[in-house]
Structure 1
Amino acid sequence: MKYSMNLLLWGTQIDESLFPTLELIREIGFEGVEVPIFNTNPDAWHQWRKKLDELGLHRECDTFCGPAENLISSDPAIRAYALENLKRVVDCGAVLGATKLMGPYHSALGVFTGQPATTDEWKWGVEGIYQLADYAQQQGILLGLEYLNRFELYLTSCGDELTRFVDDVNHPNCKIMFDTFHANIEEKNIGDCIRSMGDRIAFIQLSENDRSTPGKGNVDWKGTFQAIKDINYDGWLSIEAFSPKLPAANIWRKMFDSEEQLMRDGLAFIKNSVLA
C-alpha cells in the first residue's frame, strides 16, 4: 500500500508557496500528494513537476466543476465548455506528471434542480466523460470519478449510482475514486459498498466524518479496511482533510491542532489499520 496527502488541506491557492509543505509531507513519510488543478495554464505546472521529482513524491491530480463547467447542463454551449475545460485540466496533469485525474467532475458542485437526474442529464454526463476518457488516455491519465453526498450534487450520490454511471460510460480509462466521507453519509454499510465496486476502484481517499484527522471520528474504519483487503486493493490511500481555508467545504472551525499533527496522527493510524 502507498500513502498520499491531499493538498486541499491548505486551501485552493496551489502555488510555489506550498513547496516547504511538500518537503514536510515527504519528511513525515508520505510517498505522494494529490494536487488540485484549478489553474488550467499548463505552464504553471512545470516548476511543480520539478519540485515533486526532486522530493521523490508521486503525484495525482483532482478537480471539481462549477456551474459554468457543468457536463450535464441543458445548455449545449456550457457542456462543450465544460469538456474543453476538463481537457485543459488533463493537459496540466500531464505536465505535472500525474497518472490519474480524480473528482466529481461528471457534474457541477452545488448545482441542483430540485429533482433527480433526468435521462438526458445522465446521457450528457456519460457522453462527456467518455470523450474525456478517450482524450485522457492519449495523455496517459486515468479518470477516477467520485460520488459526493446528496447535499453537494445530485447526479451520483451513492456507490450504486456511481457504479452504474461508470459501467454506462464503459471505457477502460474510466474508473472510480472512493471517498469514505461521502460513503459515511450515504451508505448503509461502507464495507459492502467497497466490495460491490471491487476492481473498479482506482484510488481511495480516507476522510473522517468531520473532515479532520482519520481515526478521530465515527467512520467505520475497521469495516473499511477489511473491505479494502477483501477486494485485494493495493494502491494509494490518501488522507483528505479540510479546514476553513477551503470555503467550498463549508467548514468554519478548525477541528485539529495543526496540519502537521493531523498528517502525523493520520498516517500512523492508517498504517496501523492496514497492518491490523
Structure 2
Amino acid sequence: MNKIGMNMFVWTMTMDENLSDTLSFLKTSGFDFVEVPINEPGGTPANLEKWQRLGQQLKALDLGVQSCTICSHEHSLISPDASVRRAAVDYLKQIVDCSKAVGSTILMGPLYAGFKTFTGKPATEEEWNWSVTGMREVAEHAQAQGVTLAIEYLNRFETYLLTCVDDLVRYVEAVAHPNCQAAFDTFHANMEEKNIGDALRKVAPYLVHVQISENDRSTPGKGHINFDEVFGVLQEVDYDGPIAIEAFGPNPPELAAATHIFRPMFESPEQLAVDGLAFIKSQLTPTTDAVDHLVGNRL
C-alpha cells in the first residue's frame, strides 16, 4: 500500500522554524510521512544533532520521513572545475548523513547538477561522465548509511543534464548502483513528456518515489494534469512506493523567487494539504470501471 506524504516546501526551506503544530496537523490529517528539505552541509555535530532531534520528534508523532535536496552551482557534479565537483560529492555525502540522522531512507532530488546552472549548450559527454562517476561514489556512501538516492529529472528551465524520463533511465542505468534509483515528478513530466503514462511505464523498474505536483504547483486535482492516467498507470505497474504532494506558494520568499511563484494559488498550505490528500486517496481507490480497464490491459 502506498504511503502518502507532504513536502514541507510550502512552509520552510530549512526546517529551522518551530513546525511542531504543522507536523501534528499533518499527522492528524492522515499523512503517513513528511518530505523534509536538507540544503546545508551536515558535517558538524551540531548540524547532525538538529536532524536527530527532528527525527525524534517525528518518531514521537508516528510520522514517517523522507528527505530532498538541491545542489547549487558551488556543489555541481558537472562543473568544469574539479574542486567544485569534489565539493559536490562531499556535500551530497553530508546530505546523506543528515538524511540518516533524521530517519530518512530515501533522499530525492536533482542531485546530479547545479540547480539553474546553465552553459547555454546541451550537456556534453564529459559532463555526463563527471556526474555519473560522482553519483556512483555518493551512492556507495548512501548504501553504507542505509539511504537510497531517488534521482529526479527537472524541466528544461531548471537544468540541462536530465530533462525527461529517457535521460533519467539512461542515467540510473549508467550509475548502475542499487542505491541510485528514480523519482518521478508530475509537474516536470507535464512539461517535458509526450505521454506521461508511457514515461511512467518506462521508469517503473527503477521507481522508488513519486511526487504529485499540479501544473501550476498548487492543489493536486485543481489543474489540468491528467491524474486519472497517472494513477491508472501507477496501479498498472503495481507501484506500491511512497507518494508525496509537492507544491509551492508565496512563502518562503526565497523559494517563491526560485520557483517563480508571484501570486497565491491556494487558500493556505493546510487547506492544500487536506484537499490534496483527499484527492490522492480518491485516485488510489479505483472505480469498478477503472479496475475492469486495468484488468483488460493486462490480459
Superposition TM-score, scaled by structure 1 size? 0.98
Structure 2 unaligned blocks of 5 or more: 287-299
Q: Give 1:215's match in structure 2, choosing from 221, 226, 229.
A: 221
Q: Give 1:187's match in structure 2, choosing from 181, 184, 193.
A: 193
Aligned to 2:173: 167
Write the letter of the residue equivalent to 1:155: L
Aligned to 2:295: none
CA–CA separation in structure 2 for the residues paired with 1:54 and 1:212: 30
95-104 or 43-52: which moved more? 43-52
Aligned to 1:230: 236
Aligned to 1:5: 6
Shift of 1:231: 1.1
Contact 1:16 1:48 in 2 (8 A): no
Write the letter of the residue equivalent to 1:189: N
Aligned to 2:204: 198
Aligned to 1:260: 270
CA–CA separation in structure 1 for the residues paired with 2:54 and 2:17: 7
Contact 2:14 2:37 in 1 (8 A): no
CA–CA separation in structure 2 for the residues paired with 1:16 and 1:139: 27
Per-residue CA deviations over 1:199-257 (Å, capped at 9, x if unaligned) read 20000000000000000001111110111011110111100001122232111111001
Write the letter of the residue equivalent to 2:191: I
CA–CA separation in structure 2 for the residues paired with 1:11 and 1:109: 18
Write the letter of the residue equivalent to 1:128: G
1:70-85 → structure 2 map (5 Å cutoff): 70-85=76-91
Per-residue CA deviations over 1:13-44 (Å, capped at 9, x if unaligned) read 31241121101110110010001001332122
CA–CA separation in structure 1 for the residues paired with 2:266 and 2:103: 31
CA–CA separation in structure 2 for the residues paired with 1:5 and 1:145: 18
Contact 2:75 2:114 in 1 (8 A): yes
CA–CA separation in structure 2 for the residues paired with 1:220 and 1:63: 27
Shift of 1:48: 0.1
Q: Give 2:258's match in structure 1, choosing from 243, 248, 255.
A: 248
CA–CA separation in structure 1 for the residues paired with 2:250 and 2:267: 13
Write the letter of the residue equivalent to 1:20: D
Aligned to 1:35: 36
Q: Give 1:88's match in structure 2, choosing from 91, 94, 99.
A: 94
CA-atom RMSD in angstroms: 0.9
CA–CA separation in structure 2 for the residues paired with 1:146 and 1:13: 20
Aligned to 2:22: 21
Contact 2:151 2:181 in 1 (8 A): yes
Q: Give 1:154's match in structure 2, choosing from 150, 156, 160.
A: 160
CA–CA separation in structure 2 for the residues paired with 1:114 and 1:16: 37
149-158 or 249-258: which moved more? 249-258
Q: Secondary structure at the match of 2:53?
A: helix
Per-residue CA deviations over 1:116-154 (Å, capped at 9, x if unaligned) read 100000000000110000000000000000000000000
Write the letter of the residue equivalent to 2:284: V
CA–CA separation in structure 2 for the residues paired with 1:235 and 1:162: 18
User: Is 1:118 equivalent to 2:119 in the alignment?
Assistant: no
Aligned to 2:140: 134
Q: Secondary structure at the match of 2:117?
A: coil
Structure 1 unaligned blocks of 5 or more: none
Identity among equivalent pairs (%): 47
Shift of 1:11: 2.9
CA–CA separation in structure 1 for the residues paired with 2:49 and 2:285: 41
Superposition TM-score, scaled by structure 2 size? 0.91
CA–CA separation in structure 2 for the residues paired with 1:43 and 1:54: 16
Q: Secondary structure at the match of 2:19?
A: helix
Larger Rg: 2
Contact 1:244 1:250 in 2 (8 A): no
CA–CA separation in structure 2 for the residues paired with 1:231 and 1:125: 29
